[in-house]
Amino acid sequence: MIYSWAPSLDVELFFEDRTYTLGDTIHVRVALNAKRDVTVRHGRVDLVYEVRWVAPETVHRPMGRLSRPGPGGQIMNSYALRFPTKKMVEHKHSYILGSTGFLERTHLEAHTDGGYNVQITIHKDDPPYAFIKGASITWSLVAMFDVAWAIDVKLSRGLKVAFTPTGA
């Protein structure tokens, strides 16, 4: 049950403002200030990757039926591949590509300041859907705190990551 809808923590993220590349480690300083007595159940920082693109909607169109035996001997009908329509559809996918937990069940008294140093490494592999031409890609660091008896606290900061997808 939530007893207070007012945020109980002030949170700030500090990290070097530069362009990172795949395989780099991001050194993050998480600063906390408790506005009142509060118990934090868990704190973490996530590396979030989001990709968006617009593409034509596709549908299955039968190009004649080809019957073939399937598992168990029943007859399966095969259809052609998907075909694009005139309708455009926005695709949006978000992934957590790294996460670091740094705070477990801690009681903070009112007006207490705290700081935590964490590291998140960006994987060397291409992120999902990075190969799609014209895709809009954003990266961010997101600090999340599970606060007992109050609204959880979340803070997001944009991050610059440069890479060239394999095969591009």
Check if the beta carbon of residue 54 is closer than 8 Å to that of residue 135.
no
Number of H helices, E strands in the chain: 0, 10
* pTM higher than 0.85: no
pLDDT value at position 150? 85
Check if the beta carbon of residue 47 is closer than 8 Å to that of residue 20.
no
What is the torsion angle, in degrees rounded to the nearest 10, for the CA atoms of residue 56, residue 60, residue 61 and residue 62?
Answer: 170
**Going residue by residue through the chain (168 aa), what tens digit of pLDDT does each one get?**
556 667 789 999 999 999 999 999 999 999 999 999 999 999 999 999 999 999 888 886 666 555 555 566 565 555 556 777 889 999 999 999 999 999 999 999 999 999 999 999 999 999 999 888 889 999 999 999 999 888 899 999 999 999 988 765
Residue 74 neighbours by CB distance under 10 Å? 7
**CATH T-level assignment (fold) for domain 9-55+89-161:** Immunoglobulin-like (2.60.40)
In eight-state DSSP terms, residue 135 is -
